[in-house]
Amino acid sequence: MTNQWIKTFVSYAISTGLWDELDRVYLTNKVLYLIGLDDYEDDREIEGTLPVEMVEKLVEVAIDSGKIKSTAHEKDVLIGQLMDIVTPSPKEVNQQFNKNYETSPEKATDYLYELCKDNDYIKTQAIAKNIEFPYDSEYGTLNITINLSKPEKDPEEIKKAATMKTANYPKCMLCIENEGFSGRIGYPNRFNHRVIRFNLCDEPWAFQYSPYAYYNEHSIFFSAVHRPMSINKETFTRLVHVLDVFPHYFVGSNADLPIVGGSILSHDHYQGGRFHFPIESSPIETSYDILDFPNVSVGTVKWPMSVIRVTSDSKEDVIDAADYILKKWRDYSDLSLEIKAFSDDGTPHHTITPIARRKNGNYEMDLVLRDNNVSDKYPDGIFHPHPEYHHIKKENIGLIEVMGLAILPPRLKEEMEDVKKFLLNQEHSMVDYHKEWAGKIKSTQDITEKNVDEKIEEAIGEVFLHVLEDAGVYKRTQEGQDGFKRFMSTL
């Protein structure tokens, strides 16, 4: 059936409009080279197949022919090369995006999103493997995800990567130079990657989708210049201007300090998309008047972390108010609550995770207070997941989790199967670090075959809630909320 798969893929490439029937021989020979064959006979096409299925079959042929080895890296490179054939050039993608944008921003992003799914840049099949479930809390319904989409690293490739010469091109995985990059072991290829260029506050910026999307239309907006992330007035300005370009998306930034920051602090970027996060539905608990900003509504949000919501029909007022609050927070300390703005050597510890959206004609920005101090008791971070929850979540709490979407490690899928067996008094190999937690579930819940999965999900959701509370600067206690009011009074 090899000839059938080749013809089917070539016919699909022609059907995209990127190629003509006159290109059939050329494309066939290109595919033959990529999969390591030098013989071909015309055959019938295979009906009803998706591009991803075609490419998967061609990758199998390439492995059988000896063209590539069956490693994650080599398979991924070949997938990228084949999908590049059915992907318009960067120039064509940008032209079509801009043409669609003339009709509406939604039509433009719909075009790019569908393209990135069709050409397998967005790994829809891998993303579908993720385990997702809700958790109802006093703050609303939180979203829990066990992330299974990213492929595990091949041990042999890890060894090989350790002996390779260090390369500095591209400087990081967010740089615009990744577009079309061939990749290397330990660094993904981007043959089928396409980036939209746009102007943001008189600077060159770019827009793309995340290949392993954590939510619908998971977008990344990044500077065309490789420079470190920072949270300042320019950040707030860019965020609201992103909303002007993409009014149907939210946009936010990770914090700019280690521990409370995101995974990539070396490149200035924001994340956005078309998704309703739990934090957006959370109500204002206490409203405040900031005298210098009469056109701005300000209030603290009912949320496990410490959130100040700023709303106005004037984006300039939102920007100025957010900047005012950030500057106050950067210098504010409350040692009775272990909140300390600077180390004795002057190292800063306070920043903000901002989230912006358009709502009812207004600009709305949530400012989540962050503190990255450590202590002898909490060497990983005072306002970081505490050790009793590390068996479920040890990683930093970034922008996505701040908003109520848990991204939990893939190890939990197998580990929860053993927890399940433990709860049902079956033979198991449960790891020790789940023992206390699982024992508590067993002693406090009536576990049956029918409800065991639901009980485990509830327990995981409860841990994530506690993790967010740990990351909150002002705790949801009387003492903590009194402290929050003391800070708000300084505004």
- Residue 251 CB-density burial (10 A; 0-12 exposed, 13-18 middle, 19+ buried): buried
Residue 264: what pLDDT? 85
Name residue 348's beta-bridge partners: 342
| In the predicted structure, residue 162 carries a pLDDT above the cut 60 | no
Which tens digit of pLDDT belongs to each residue from 315-351?
999 999 999 999 999 999 999 999 999 999 999 999 9
Mean pLDDT, residues 288-303: 95
Mean pLDDT, residues 151-170: 67
H/E stretch holding 367 reads strand 362-371
- Residue 201 CB-density burial (10 A; 0-12 exposed, 13-18 middle, 19+ buried): exposed
150 pLDDT band, cuts 50/70/90, is confident
Strands ordered across the beta sheet of 297-301: 196-200, 203-209, 219-223, 269-273, 250-252, 350-359, 362-371, 307-312, 297-301, 284-288
225 φ, ψ (degrees, to nearest 5): -105, 130
Mean pLDDT, residues 45-57: 94
Q: Which tokens is 471 given?
A: 């990351």
Note the pTM of the prediction, 2 decimals.
0.94
Dist CA 14 CA 20 (whole Å): 6
Residue 262: what pLDDT? 75
How are beta strands 250-252 and 269-273 bridged, if at all?
antiparallel
Dist CA 420 CA 430 (whole Å): 9
Residue 166: what pLDDT? 73
From its phi and psi, is residue 202 left (phi > 0), alpha (psi between -120 and 50) or beta? left
| In the predicted structure, residue 153 carries a pLDDT above the cut 70 | no
Among 47, 58, 45, residue whose Cα is nearest residue 4: 45
From its phi and psi, is residue 201 left (phi > 0), alpha (psi between -120 and 50) or beta? left
Which tens digit of pLDDT belongs to each residue from 409-431?
999 999 999 999 999 999 999 99
H/E stretch holding 24 reads helix 24-35
How are beta strands 131-137 and 140-146 bridged, if at all?
antiparallel
Mean pLDDT, residues 117-126: 95
Residue 163: what pLDDT? 63
Residue 157: what pLDDT? 57
Dist CA 365 CA 254 (whole Å): 14
280 pLDDT band, cuts 50/70/90, is very high
